[in-house]
Amino acid sequence: MKLSSQAQAFVLHFGEMGSRWGFNRTVGQMFALLTIHPEPVNADQLAQALKISRGNVSMGLKELQAWRLVELHHLPGDRKDYFTAAGSIWDLARTVFEERRKRELDPTLTLLRQLLLNEPQDEQEAEAQERIQEVYDLLELLDQFANTLSRLQQKDLLKLMKLGSGLSKLLELKGKVKGGPSKAK
Amino acid sequence: MKLSSQAQAFVLHFGEMGSRWGFNRTVGQMFALLTIHPEPVNADQLAQALKISRGNVSMGLKELQAWRLVELHHLPGDRKDYFTAAGSIWDLARTVFEERRKRELDPTLTLLRQLLLNEPQDEQEAEAQERIQEVYDLLELLDQFANTLSRLQQKDLLKLMKLGSGLSKLLELKGKVKGGPSKAK
DNA sequence: TACAATTTTCAGAAATTTCTGAAAATTAAG
DNA sequence: CTTAATTTTCAGAAATTTCTGAAAATTGTA
C-alpha cells in the first residue's frame, strides 16, 4: 500500500490532532488512513504504511473497535482480517461525537450526582454544593442536548447547522405559532 | 485554605477528567478549585491546597489565563496576585467550548483547505481528494454551527437545549411560517 | 537607588503514555 | 490432531508529558 503525498499529509495531521480528539497518535493515523482509503486494509498493510509495529496496530484496531469506528471484513481466500471505516463521514462524526459525550460528560455527571446526595454539614459545604449544583445542571442539560443532536436525522441536523443567524429568529417563533411545538419544561 | 471533603472530591475528579477536557491534571484541579471557591485565591494557597509546587502553580495559572478562564484580582494591602474563575458557570462553559473549537477544528480546517488547493495528479489522488472534501465540508459546517451556538444569548441557548424532541418539530416549521426566518442557503 | 516580596523560568527528575517485538494464544484448513 | 497462518498480549524500552525547586527576573515600596 502506497499513500499519495496528499493522503500522507492527511494521515500525519490526524495523528497530530489525535490526542485532542481522544486517541493517541497512531490510532489517529490508522483512523485517518481507513477514512481516506475506501478499500479494506489489513493489519500488515497498516503497519507497513504507517511504519509502526504489528503489535501496535493490533492494539490500535482494538481501540478503534471500542470506539465503533471500524468494520471487519473478510476477503474470499484470504485468512487475514480486513478493516474499513464504519460508514460515511457523517456516521463517523456522529460516532465520535457520541463516544466523546459518554467519556467526557457521563463520569462527571455520575460523580456530581453522588456529591449532591450528601447533606451539607456546614455553611461552607452548603455554598460549595450550590456551585456543584450549578455545574451539574449545566452539564446535564448539555448531555441531553448532545443526545438530542445525535438522534436527529441527518437532514434535520444539516438544516439546523445551516441556519446560522436564522437560529435565533427560529427560536423566537417557538410557541408563538398555531400548531407549533408545545412549550417544553 | 482547607477544602471540605465535597470540594476535595470535586477537585480530584476534575483533575482526572482534565486530560479529556484539554488540560493536564493539575490545571484541571486548579480550575475546579477556583470554580467551587468563590473567594479569590493566591498562588501559595493553590500550591498548599493541591499539594503541588509553586512553579507548577505558576505554569498552570499561565495556561488558565491562555484559556481565558481566570481573572486576576488584587486585595488592598497585599502584594500577591489573587485569582477567581472568570464569570459564571455558563461563561466558563462557553469559554471552554470556544477554546476547544479553536484548538480541535481550526488547525484541521486550515490543513484540509491547503490539501484541496492541489490539483490531483492521478485517479488515486482524485478519489482521496473527494473524501478530504467530504471531511472538510462536514468540519466546516460543524465549526460554523459551534460559532453560531457560542454567539447565542444565554436565554436562547437555554431554550434550544431544552427543546428536546421539540427540536425536529421546530425544524419542520422552518420556512413554512408567514413572517418566519427566511431560508438560509 | 536598594531591597524585599513575589512571580516566572527552565533544567533535570519523575511520572505517564506509547510502542516494540518476541512469545503465547487463537483460528482455520487438511 | 497437526500444522501453519494470523492475531493478541504484555514486559520492558522509548518517547512524551508533567512536575519540582532553585535561580533569575520582575514588581512595588520606600
- Domain membership flag for residue A144: yes
Do B113 and B143 share a structural domain? yes
What does the alpha-carbon distance between residue B143 and residue A146 come to, in Å, rounded to a whole number?
16
For residue A39, give the CATH number of its domain.
Answer: 1.10.10.10
Judge whether residue B61 contacts strand C, using its CB and a 7 Å cut-off: yes
The reply to whether B13 and B80 lie within a common domain is yes
Residue range A107-134: average pLDDT?
95
Q: Which of B3, B5, B10, B176 should be substituted to probe chain A, the one whose Cβ sees the most A Cβ atoms within 10 Å? A: B10
Predicted confidence band of residue A175 (pLDDT cuts 50, 70, 90):
low
Give the pLDDT confidence score for residue A174 in this predicted structure: 74
Q: What is the pLDDT of residue B1?
A: 87
Q: What is the pLDDT of residues A14-55, one digit of tens each?
A: 999 998 998 999 999 999 999 999 999 999 999 999 999 999
Q: Are B122 and B158 within one domain?
A: yes
Residue A183 predicted with pLDDT over 60: no
User: Considering the domain boundaries, does residue B81 fall inside one?
Assistant: yes
pLDDT score of A176 more than 80: no
Which letter, b or e, does each residue of B18-57 get, where b requires 16 or more Cβ atoms within 10 Å of its Cβ? beeebbebbbbbbbbbbbbbeebbbbebbbebbebeeebb
- Does residue A31 lie within any of the structural domains? yes
Kindly state whether residues B114 and B70 are assigned to the same domain: no
Tell me what the pLDDT averaged over chain B comes to: 93
Return the axis-axis angle of helices A154-162 and B123-151, rounded to nearest 10°: 60
Looking at the fold, whether B76 and B20 belong to one and the same domain comes out as yes
Same domain as B27, residue B64: yes
Q: For A61-98, how does the pLDDT look when each residue is reduced to its tens digit (9 = 90+)? A: 999 999 999 999 999 999 999 999 999 999 999 999 99
Co-location of B11 and B65 in the same domain: yes
Angle in degrees, 0-180, between the axes of helices B154-162 and A166-173, rounded to the nearest 10:
60
Residue A75 pLDDT: 95
Q: Do A10 and B168 touch (CB under 8 A)?
A: no
Q: Mutating which of B109, B133, B161 best tests the A interface, going by the most A Cβ atoms within 10 A?
A: B161
* Residue where a domain terminates, one of A52, A86, A120: A86
Q: pLDDT category, A182, cuts 50, 70, 90?
A: very low
In a domain, B171, yes or no: no
Q: What is the pLDDT of residue A19?
A: 87
From chain B, pick out residues whose CB is under 8 angstroms from the CB of A108. Answer: 13-14, 17
Mean pLDDT of chain A: 93
The tally of domains found in chain A comes to 2
| Long-range contacts from A49-58, C-beta under 8 angstroms, 24+ separation | A49/A1, A49/A2, A49/A3, A50/A11, A50/A26, A52/A26, A56/A26, A57/A26, A57/A30
What was the pLDDT predicted at B177? 59
- Tell whether B99 is covered by a domain: no
- Do both B13 and B79 map to the same domain? yes
* Structural domain of A136: 105-164
List pLDDT tens digits, range B71-85: 999 999 999 999 999
| In a domain? residue B109 | yes
What is the residue-level pLDDT of chain B in tens, covering all 185 positions? 889 999 999 999 999 999 899 899 999 999 999 999 999 999 999 999 999 999 999 999 999 999 999 999 999 999 999 999 999 999 999 999 999 999 999 999 999 999 999 999 999 899 999 999 999 999 999 999 999 999 999 999 999 999 999 999 999 887 665 544 544 43
**B148: in domain:** yes
Does residue A183 fall inside a structural domain?
A: no
Angle ∠(B15,B18,B19) on CA atoms, nearest 5:
130
